[in-house]
Amino acid sequence: MYDDQFIGKGTFSWFIGVVESVNDPKFLNRVKVRCFGYHTQDTGILPTEKLPMATVMMPNTSASLKGVGSNHELEIGSTVVGFFRDGNSAQDPIIMGSVATQTESVIDIPTEAQLNPPTNKVHKTEGGHLIEYDNTDGSKRINIQHASGTTININNDGTVEINAVNDIVNIDGNTTITGTLHVTGAQTNDSTIVATDSITGKEITLDTHVHTGDSGGKTGTPE
């Protein structure tokens, strides 16, 4: 006779609950969930810290092994569905997924994903970072947006646009540009395009830089 508490052989006991803590001192993708019907809603009788740790089930795309994979993104207040690995003992919960709800008249999925049909696949974090894979006919795009508003956008025609809210884009390392480089802007001219001379270490601009040779530039000796 099999032990009725052996997983897969005993009773499948599932639950719906709400996440109350996402702190896991062992970093094992666990949270604390108050399960409806299993745990009293009276936190004076059963405080959050007394709830059992619930392990979050990850998808097959996450190895969950030797530091390889990903972490869950549940937050306090997330409504989740799961089961108890120990059956009716209900001390070892496993979370299978989250359920979108509506709280205070706000639909709990990203605004950017609220389309019919849902052609825009969205990933948004609690800090406000956003990734969109928009599959809408005629306006397909990939958009990566920082919480500050800075974006990297691949448009429908394949054009890549970078929009930095502070107008600063730093490129570290050797940079190769194939094709024509167009530099525009009211504040951009030969005097404001600044480089560092590899020999002297001084900053130079296009209208002050001189070099010897027959490459088509001005001749002379660098300052």
* Digit-coded pLDDT (tens) for 86-136: 988 999 999 999 999 887 788 889 999 999 999 999 999 999 999 999 999
Buried b (16+ CB within 10 A) or exposed e, 70-101: eebebeeebbbebbbbbbeebebbbbeebeee
What is the structure's pLDDT at 203? 76
pLDDT at 27 over 70: yes
Do 60 and 138 lie in one domain? The reply is no
Q: In 164-212, which ranges are E strands?
A: 194-196, 203-205
Higher pLDDT, 220 or 63: 63
Answer whether residue 222 is part of any domain: yes
Total of domains in the chain: 3
Establish if 51 belongs to a structural domain: yes
Domain that holds residue 222: 172-223
Based on the fold, state whether residues 114 and 88 are members of the same structural domain: no
> For the whole model, what pTM was predicted?
0.77
Average pLDDT of span 194-215: 68
Residue 44 lies in a domain: yes
Each residue's pLDDT tens digit, 73-100: 999 999 999 999 998 899 999 999 999 9
Asked whether 98 and 104 are in contact (CB, 8 A), the reply is no
In a domain, 202, yes or no: yes
pLDDT one-digit tens code per residue, 46-83: 999 999 999 999 999 999 999 999 999 999 999 999 99
Return the CATH number at 32.
2.40.50.260
* Per-residue pLDDT, 2: 46
**9 domain residue, yes or no:** no
